[in-house]
Amino acid sequence: MTEKAFVKNAADPEQVMAAKQKVESANDKRLNDVREVLNTVRGRRFFWRYLGVCGVFKTSLANDHQIFYNEGMRNVGLNLLADVNEACPEAYLLMMKENQEE
């Protein structure tokens, strides 16, 4: 997936400022989406399940090419975890508590 450039002329301060606002707006939307999901028990369960599926909590060591696959999956999981921690760090602690009880 290629990203669209927000600035055609990096020497133009107005274009740079407008691009910065677009990026911040997109980031705010992403974090608000994550917060919305984390505000539900089902959403936290979803995140927790995929953090496990992606292997965030285990080593990627394996035989032959499997390690590359494992590291790719782990990278996705680490991105999910980063979103959780940026959007709502207390939700991670709540997820841990909720899943220890199961």
Q: Indicate whether 80 belongs to any domain.
A: yes
Mean pLDDT computed over every residue of the chain: 88
pLDDT at 87: 96
pLDDT at 2: 60
Count CB atoms within 10 A of the CB of residue 98: 13
Q: Indicate whether 30 belongs to any domain.
A: yes
Q: Which domain holds residue 70?
A: 13-100
What is the distance between the alpha carbons of residues 91 and 39, in angstroms, rounded to a whole number? 8
pLDDT at 3: 65
Q: Indicate whether 7 belongs to any domain.
A: no
Count CB atoms within 10 A of the CB of residue 55: 19
Q: Indicate whether 47 belongs to any domain.
A: yes
What is the distance between the alpha carbons of residues 102 and 97, in angstroms, rounded to a whole number? 9
Is the per-residue pLDDT at 41 higher than 80? yes
Q: Indicate whether 82 belongs to any domain.
A: yes
Domains of the chain: total: 1
Q: Indicate whether 65 belongs to any domain.
A: yes
Q: Indicate whether 1 belongs to any domain.
A: no
Residue 69 CB partners (closer than 8 Å, separation 6+): 62
Cβ atoms 60, 70 nearer than 8 A: yes
What is the distance between the alpha carbons of residues 4 and 2, in angstroms, rounded to a whole number? 7
Task: Give pLDDT tens digits for 45-100.
Answer: 999 999 999 999 999 998 888 999 999 999 999 999 999 999 999 999 999 999 99
> Which amino acid belongs to residue 102?
E
Query: Token pair for residue 23?
Result: 């990026």
